Structure 1
Amino acid sequence: MANTGYDVVVDVDDDGDLGRTDLQDDLEFHNSTFTETTGPGRKPISSPGLPPPVTASSGGGGKRMLWTIDFYAQFFDVDTSAVLTRCWAALFPRANFLDVLEGNPDLYGPFWIATTVVLILFLGGTISDWMSRSKDVPFAYNFKLLSGAAGLIYGYTLFVPVALFAILRYFGSEAANLLECWALYGYANLIWVPVALISWSPIDILNWTFVAIGFGMSTSFLLRNLYPVLSATERQTSKILLIIVVALHFGLALTVKFLFFAHHSPLDPDKATPVDGGGD
C-alpha cells in the first residue's frame, strides 16, 4: 500500500497457498523509514517598520517578546566581517547601502560607531581646548565636552531616524523601515571619526575644511540611500523631506564645529565666563 507508513511482508509456500492467515504469525509490520518533508521555509511576515521580531529562526522556534533579551539580541546578530564591509561601504559607497545590508540591518555597528565618535570628539575637543590656552593658565579636563558629545551624537542618531520614519509612514511610504533608518544614520556617523581626529588644528580654516568634507560625504551618503525611499511619497513632499534631511545634517556639522573645534566652545566654562584678572 502506498504512503501508508507500513511495509507488509507475506509468506507464500511452494504450492502457491497463502497458508494460514494468522496475522500475528505470518504478517510482520515494520516501521517505515518514510519521513515527512516540509516545503521550503517561508520568512515570517513582518511589518515594514521592523524586521521579524516575533519568531526565532533558530534555537527552539519560540516567540521573542519585547521585554526579553532575545528580542534585542537579534538586532546585534552580525559578525565582524559584515560590520567592516558596511563601514567600508559607508566611507566609499559604490552600491546602494541597503543592498549591502542584504535585508539584515544591525544596531551593533551604529552603536559602536556613535560611541567611538563621542569619545574622539571629547578627545579632540580637549586637545583643541588645551592648544588654545596660554601656558601660564592651568589646564583642567572639561567633562562637559563628553556629556555634550554623548547627547549630540546619541540623540541625533536615535531620534532623527525615528522622526523620519514616522513622517514617511504618515505620508504613506511602505518602503520605510525604522531599523534601516537607524543603520543608515549610524553608519553615516563613521566619517566623523577621521574628521574629529584631524580637526583640532590651531588653524581654524583647516578645521572648517575638514568639517565641510565630513558634512559633504555623510550627506551624499544619506541622500543617495534615502532618495528611493523619500521619492515614494508625493513629489513636493519628497523635496521638502530632502531639504529637512540636509538641514538637520548641516546643523549637526555646525554644532560639532562650534562645540568641539572652535577654540571658543560654549561648553568651556572659563571662556563662557571671563575671569577678572584684577586684584582684590
Structure 2
Amino acid sequence: MNRLSRACLIWCCIVFDGSAHDAKIPPNTAIVSPVAPSKATETNPLKQRAQEPQKSSHEIPPWLSAQLTLENPSPFAQQLFERLAQKMGLKSETIIIKQSPNLLEKYRYHALAQGNILIFDTSQAELPLDEFSFLLAHELAHIKHHDTNKQIAAHLLSALGKITLAGIALQIARTPHTLLTTTYITAGYFLFSLGISKEAIRRYKLYQEKQADLTAINTLGTKRGAIAWLTRGTQTNKKIHDTLLQHGLKNSGSRVDKVGNNLDDTTHPALTERIAYINAALPNEYYP
C-alpha cells in the first residue's frame, strides 16, 4: 500500500470514528415519564410556572391577547391537560392552553373553552387537584363536542327563523288593516320571534353545559371533584344570601336563592341541578 492510500485510510478512520462518537446519546438525556414537581420545592404543583411555551398548530387571536394577560400553565397542569385530552380522543398539540390572572374579571367564568383555545383562571391553582381536574375536563368536553361551532350554527338558524317570521308579519301587514292593527301585528311577530329564539338558544346552552359535566365525570371516572366544587359554590352563595338577609339587603345586588344558586348565571344550570344530575349519573359512588 503506497503512502497516499495509507493516508486516505487513516483519514477515513478518524472521520468515521469521530462521527460515531458524536452520534452517541449521553446517558443523562434518556427519555423518562414526566414526574410531578416535588412538594419540597412547591407546595402546590399547579402553581409552578412552565419553562417552555406550549407548541400548538393554532395561535391566540390578537383581540383575546389584548383583553387578557395570558401565561403558560405549570408543567403539572400541562401534563394533566395532555392526559385528559388523550382520554377524550383529542390531540393536545392542536389545542392552546393558557392561564390568566384576570379571566374572572373579564368573563366572570372560571374557565373559557373557545374553539381550540382553553384558558383557565390562575386562581384555580389554589383548588384541590380533583376539583381542578373536573374543571379542566369540563372545558375540554366543550372542545370535544364542538360546542362553539354549534352555538354559531344555532345563532344562524335563529336569525333565519326571525327573518321567516318577519316575512309572515309583512304579508299579514299588507292585507287591509288599520295602521294600529298593522303595527300591533308586526311588533307582536317581532317580539314573539325574538323571545322564542333567545329562549331556544338559552336552553341549548344549558344542554351543552350538562353534557360537558357528564363527559367530564365519565372521563375522570369519578364525581368527587365535581361534587366538591359545586357544593362549595352553593355554600358560598348561601353565606351571601344569609348576610344580605341579616342586613336587609336581599335585593341590593347579587341575586342568590336560599339553597345557594346564583340566579344571575343564566349560562349554566343551577348548581343544585348540576349536583343532582351528576349524582344520578354515578349513583354508586359514595363519600364518607
Indicate the structure whose relative CO is greater, using CA pairs within 8 Å and at least 6 residues apart.
1
Same fold (TM over 0.5): no
- TM-score band, normalised by the shorter chain? 0.3 to 0.5
| Larger fraction in helix | 2
TM-score (structure 2 length as normaliser): 0.34
TM-score (structure 1 length as normaliser): 0.34
Say which one has the larger Rg.
1
